[in-house]
Structure 1
Amino acid sequence: MSLSRRQFLMAGAAASLVTSLPKFALAATSPNDTRLVVVLLRGGLDGLHALPRPNDSDYLRLRGALGEAAIKDAHPIDGGFALHPSLAFASQLYAAKEFLPVVAVAPPYRERSHFEAQDCVENGTQGPGGRNGWMNRCVQELGGSSGLAITAVMPLIMRGNSTTTTWSPPLAHAIDPILMQHLQVLYARDAVLGPAFAHAGADESDVTAKGGDKRGHLADAMGAAAHFMSAADGPRIAFVEDTGWDTHYNEAGILQRKLSELDSGLQAFKTAGDAIWPRTAIVVVTEFGRTAAVNGTNGTDHGTGGVAFLAGGAVNGGRVAGTWPGLANSQLNERRDLLATSDMRGMFKGVLESHLRVSAAASDARVFPASTDVAVMRGLIRNS
């Protein structure tokens, strides 16, 4: 009997999936009954690949063949930028003014540790660590509402004293290929398991090549979030996460697939949450960007300045937000990374204050403690 990659990894393991749907308190009323979804792409999305610059000589110099892969068949937008060819649905949203890239954005932590940077994104403070997250504190400010995390365990961003719930969708359609690459090295040393593992991987790769389901786990998670948030007693804010964005090698191939999954996730949310789409803002972030230049394995290493994407009917899209610093050697951070020109907390504060009507005082002091000096990014939300 031939085992699929997934069956091979799961063989002999007992698993129990929780299928009961969470219950939520009645959402607090607000002028617009708005919804907010934060999507964290764990691993460090290369914003220069997702949002290339086709006519920028510095971009072409730094990126070489990796840049050419991003530019080919890309979707041109304003400001000399383009959306990666895999972001076809996002380009439609951009044309409808419901998609907004934010360039050169990063959390206040500007080092290159995945875990510390993710902690900083989630806790909403100046640095890593902490025991509770800013989205949980936001639930407190909304009053009478609740928060939802589409995750297997409660993430830091949703931990705290306010009412929050987790729900985990079924297992992903396929095992993360980056994980598979690491496991392949381990299994290759085993005379029995090595050949079986290689055979399982080849079988599943063949299925994908023949047109298997390429939507991925993120589409399921986003569809579930839209389903729960569309209910009359659904949560007003939700958190979704995705892994596999750490692209030290073979970046073009990995991001072609991962960006397609992100695109499918946005489409899945709009399809399942069409009724709330006009009142929804989705904020897609990552913990840091990547190096401006390509490394020796056709990938990029940990950087600083990154990109964020806002999507939804409530978003003031159809343009590029943020301050672009340039890619000349003298304009790079430490002559290696895109310079971060905006604090991610300022972007979040702009969404909370304009979209969820969280007061500036609460945003400055409680949701993002001691952030009075962090400039609020204005104009992100339509009619704000």
Structure 2
Amino acid sequence: MRIDRRSFIGAATLLAAPRLLMAQAMTERRFVFIIQRGAADGLNTVIPYAEARYAALRAELAIDPSAALKLNGTFALHPSLSTLHKLYAAGEATFLHAVASPYRDRSHFDAQNVLETGSQLPYQLRDGWMNRLLGMLPRSGKEAIAFAPAIPLAMQGTVEVISYAPSSLSEASEDLLMRVQQLYGSDPQLHLLWSSALAVRGMATEKMGGNSARQDSAALGRMAAGFLARGDGPRIAMIESNGWDTHSGQDARLARQLLGLDGLISGLREGLGEVWANTVVLVATEFGRTVAINGTGGTDHGTAAAAMLIGGAVQGGRVVTDWPGLAPGNLLDGRDLMPTLALDSLITATCSEAFGLDPVRTKSVLFPGAGPHKTMSRLLRGESW
């Protein structure tokens, strides 16, 4: 069900910050998908510092190994990811490298369509893999909820989703809300929509400390956690993170983006409390960036990237990769990190482990036409479903 924004008289005006969408499933596991829109640079996120060609190809963009946060003898994290580094040390984060969807061109729109629909080619499917996942889970009847100006494609489909986001404007006064309540009280449909909006607003402001406008990433993470931690709340969430296209001036821009991601995860963990032990967060992007620096202090559209699994339910403390190396003969098209791990397989394995689903059937539902499921080593801790 979509709620007409005009029905809210401005109380559900949406903010242009990372956006969340959620749904309820009868399980103790929480699953959060964070999409990095714009093609995040995996090589400067999970850094292959031990490979000599990394520094040579990245030139002034190469992260100094002395500043990087070491994971093992080969890989390190960007210095902005201090929370994720601590979670890795605690066994609650796994980083996966050389990951890619089936898409092999370099259009953001087409690549995001493939990632969100679970198709093999752009515009083959009209619904999203997350909505199809919801259809596989037992449900209590509560609708999914999107914190976004429009429901992202990954969550569109036959399972009903309503939308809400905190306002970037001043909070509506209680007098105004009461007047709208009286106005809609005699209309069965509008009264139901308005009551639903007020219930969601109350859950959000409870965690945001009143006025929810212009909150930082950690505050948004805590707000998301406020929904997910409730016994009667959603169990599945999606967060959109924009601004990862770093064609120029990448050094400072990527540092800011990663700092925001680190804060978002920190806020989620803080807000979830004990529920963090049953939480899985998957972070992925539509494609990576070129291995070599370009002429404007940035990197161009590439292919393989890095993905992350974070949470108390993650069997972490690992870097998972069939690392292809950065030698000229090992690069895709002579310029991109070669993909060696299918994002389809990663999502399938994560969702089937998280919710106790058969992986073969899960793969066929989420990624029709993708071919047989390839078994991965276990990604999560013991079941809680």
TM-score between the two structures when normalised by the length of structure 1 = 0.79
Q: 1:23 to 1:44 in 2, by over 3 A?
A: closer
CA contact (8 A) 1:102 1:322 kept: yes
The amino acid of 1:156's aligned partner reads L
The residue that corresponds to 1:140 in the other structure is 135
State the SS of the aligned residue for 1:61.
helix
State the SS of the aligned residue for 2:47.
coil
Q: 1:27 to 1:54 in 2, by over 3 A?
A: closer
Q: 1:51 to 1:154 in 2, by over 3 A?
A: same
Deviation at 1:171, TM superposition (A): 3.6
TM-score between the two structures when normalised by the length of structure 2 = 0.79
State the SS of the aligned residue for 1:90.
helix
* Alignment pair present for 1:335 and 2:330: no
The amino acid of 2:30's aligned partner reads R
Deviation at 1:227, TM superposition (A): 1.1
The residue that corresponds to 1:380 in the other structure is 379
Deviation at 1:170, TM superposition (A): 3.8
* Alignment pair present for 1:166 and 2:160: no
The residue that corresponds to 2:149 in the other structure is 152
Q: 1:23 to 1:222 in 2, by over 3 A?
A: closer
CA contact (8 A) 1:94 1:318 kept: yes
The residue that corresponds to 2:126 in the other structure is 131
Q: 1:331 to 1:353 in 2, by over 3 A?
A: same
CA contact (8 A) 1:136 1:147 kept: no
The residue that corresponds to 1:96 in the other structure is 90
CA contact (8 A) 1:36 1:280 kept: yes
Name the % identity.
38
Q: Distance in 1 between matches of 2:347 and 2:311?
A: 15
The residue that corresponds to 1:111 in the other structure is 105
State the SS of the aligned residue for 1:162.
coil
Alignment map for 1:294-373 (pairs within 5 Å): 294-373=293-372
Deviation at 1:65, TM superposition (A): 1.1
Q: Deviations over 1:248-307 (max 9, x none)?
A: 001000011110000000000001111210000000010000000000001000000011
The residue that corresponds to 2:29 in the other structure is 34
Q: 1:36 to 1:26 in 2, by over 3 A?
A: closer
Deviation at 1:323, TM superposition (A): 1.3
The amino acid of 2:35's aligned partner reads L
Q: 1:307 to 1:216 in 2, by over 3 A?
A: farther
CA contact (8 A) 1:289 1:306 kept: yes
Q: 1:324 to 1:171 in 2, by over 3 A?
A: farther
CA contact (8 A) 1:150 1:221 kept: no
Q: Distance in 1 between matches of 2:381 and 2:99?
A: 21
User: What stretches of structure 2 of length at least 5 have no aligned partner?
Assistant: 1-8, 15-19, 170-213
CA contact (8 A) 1:216 1:261 kept: no
The residue that corresponds to 1:48 in the other structure is 43
Q: 1:257 to 1:24 in 2, by over 3 A?
A: closer
RMSD between aligned residues: 2.4
The amino acid of 2:231's aligned partner reads A
Q: Deviations over 1:49-89 (max 9, x none)?
A: 111122210111111110035x4511100250000000000
Deviation at 1:150, TM superposition (A): 3.1
User: What stretches of structure 1 of length at least 5 have no aligned partner?
Assistant: 1-14, 173-214
State the SS of the aligned residue for 2:162.
strand
The residue that corresponds to 1:289 in the other structure is 288
Of the structure 1 ranges 50-59 and 161-170, higher mean CA displacement relative to structure 2 is found in 161-170
CA contact (8 A) 1:347 1:376 kept: no
State the SS of the aligned residue for 1:320.
strand
State the SS of the aligned residue for 2:320.
coil
Q: 1:375 to 1:171 in 2, by over 3 A?
A: farther
How many aligned residue pairs are there? 323
Q: Distance in 2 between matches of 1:349 and 1:266?
A: 22
Q: 1:330 to 1:26 in 2, by over 3 A?
A: closer
Q: 1:125 to 1:76 in 2, by over 3 A?
A: same
CA contact (8 A) 2:359 2:373 kept: no
CA contact (8 A) 1:292 1:338 kept: yes
CA contact (8 A) 1:150 1:241 kept: no
Deviation at 1:38, TM superposition (A): 0.1
Deviation at 1:357, TM superposition (A): 1.4
Of the structure 1 ranges 293-302 and 128-137, higher mean CA displacement relative to structure 2 is found in 128-137
The residue that corresponds to 2:185 in the other structure is none
Alignment map for 1:198-209 (pairs within 5 Å): none
Alignment map for 1:184-203 (pairs within 5 Å): none
